[in-house]
Structure 1
Amino acid sequence: MLKRIYDWCIDAAHKPYALWIMGAVSFAESSFFPVPPDVMLIPMALARPERAWFYAAICTVTSVLGGVLGYAIGALLYDSIGHWLIEFYGLGGKVEAFRASYAEWGAVIIIGKGLTPIPYKLVTITSGFAGYNLWLFVLCSIIARGGRFFVVAILLNRYGNTIRAQIEKRLGLWVALGAIVLVLGFIVAARLI
């Protein structure tokens, strides 16, 4: 099953709708969706390493736009949707402490957590809830998300063929490691926020 999904993602890199799917996943992940855009970015960049930079740029732009939606959820809809999403991820009791830390460390929090596997939607919603400056939030998001996606692009552009061979050789192991990193991101978020 993993091989079929992987092969679909690799094949999809050559289809015109692939960019739309990757962009939609990147947008949604920054505001409400639990799956990171790497599930599309990595296979697409492996299939076409010469376009890795372009894919990273698409992920960055759509992630920042999705982050603005997450910010709006926190700023305008926290009492309903925002609160529900934070509770869904089990972080309801820590939002006030996280909000208080924004006064002193807002940019560091946004950039630091935006570069990690910690779910970025938690940062975007809380940034809106905390009333963090929107333009500074956008700037920090561009730095954090761009940094994250362009590191992937650099690696896959330069070492794509070697990485692809290793992934295809041990696909189950790499998917398991990816799942572990995702789960650890949620655990770390629960402890740090």
Structure 2
Amino acid sequence: MSVAESSVFPIPPDVLLAPMSLARPNRALLFALIATLGSVIGGLVGYLLGYFALYLVEPWIESAGYAESYLLAVDWFQQWGFWVVLVAGFSPIPYKVFTVAAGATGVALLPFVLGSLIGRGARFFLVATLVAWGGARLEPWLLRHVERIGWISVVALLVAMLWLQYG
């Protein structure tokens, strides 16, 4: 499920990871590792889709007058590539959108993979650990508030990035 979700599937792995971690708390970290590795593999599939899809639509981008906007997006991804992928991997923003965009804009592969490993790993290990630790009483709360937690984390990461860049 993690492989498919990172490239095309709409349902996040958290939906299965949480109950699996609840049912087998002693295996929660293994489940998180499997979800993380699967998600990174799926991210690479999305990256390749973006890479090859761009090749097919690049003439249309230029003829439609979007070349300047596209170059701006490429610059943003190249400047912040690792951070964009890391934030997207942890956030409630659909990760697949960023995997395809990273391939389409030519984000370097190593920062893409590292950002994916850290972002997706942080998300899945957090979910698995909290559910394994908090048990049945925490699981519904976590699933209800995971999006809010994700957005708070995104804001914190963005503030940290800006502080590091300009502080």
Change in Cα spacing, 1:43 to 1:98, as seen in structure 2 (3 Å) is farther
Runs of 4+ in 1 over 2 A off after TM superposition: 77-81, 95-100
Pick the aligned partner of 2:39 from 54, 60, 63. 63
Q: Which secondary structure does the structure 2 equivalent of 1:114 belong to?
A: helix
Distance 1:29 1:58 in 2: 13
How many Å separate the matches in 2 of 1:154 and 1:44? 11
Pick 1 or 2: higher relative contact order, CA cutoff 8 A, min separation 6: 2
Decide whether the 8 Å contact of 1:31 with 1:124 is kept in 2. Answer: yes
The residue correspondences of 1:89-128 to structure 2 (distance < 5 A) are 96=70, 97-128=72-103
Cα RMSD for the two superposed structures: 2.9
**Number of aligned positions between the proteins:** 140
Asked if 1:157 is matched to 2:135, the reply is: no
For 1:139 and 1:107, the matched residues in 2 are separated by 7
| Distance of 2:89 and 2:73 partners within structure 1 | 15
Structure 1: gaps spanning 5 or more residues: 1-24, 82-94, 186-193
Check the 8 A contact 1:113/1:120 in 2, yes or no.
yes
The alignment's TM-score, normalised by the length of structure 2, stands at: 0.73
Query: By how many angstroms is 1:68 displaced?
Result: 0.3
Q: Choose which of 111, 118, 126 in structure 2 pairs with 1:136.
A: 111
Contact preservation (8 Å) 1:99, 1:126: no
Q: Deviation string for 1:56-80 (max 9, x for gaps)?
A: 0000000000000000001112366
* Aligned CA distance change for structure 1 residues 114 and 103 (closer, same or farther; 3 Å): same
Q: 1:132 to 1:50 in 2, by over 3 A?
A: same
1:147 aligns with 2:107: no
Letter in 1 for 2:10: P
Assess if the C-alpha contact under 8 Å between 1:41 and 1:55 holds in 2: yes
User: Is residue 34 of structure 1 aligned with residue 35 of structure 2?
Assistant: no
Any unmatched runs of 5+ in structure 2?
Answer: 58-68, 152-167
Measured in 2, the distance between the counterparts of 1:115 and 1:134 equals 18
TM-score w.r.t. the length of structure 1 is: 0.64
Q: Does the C-alpha gap of structure 1 residues 104 and 146 become closer, same or farther in structure 2, counting only changes over 3 Å?
A: same
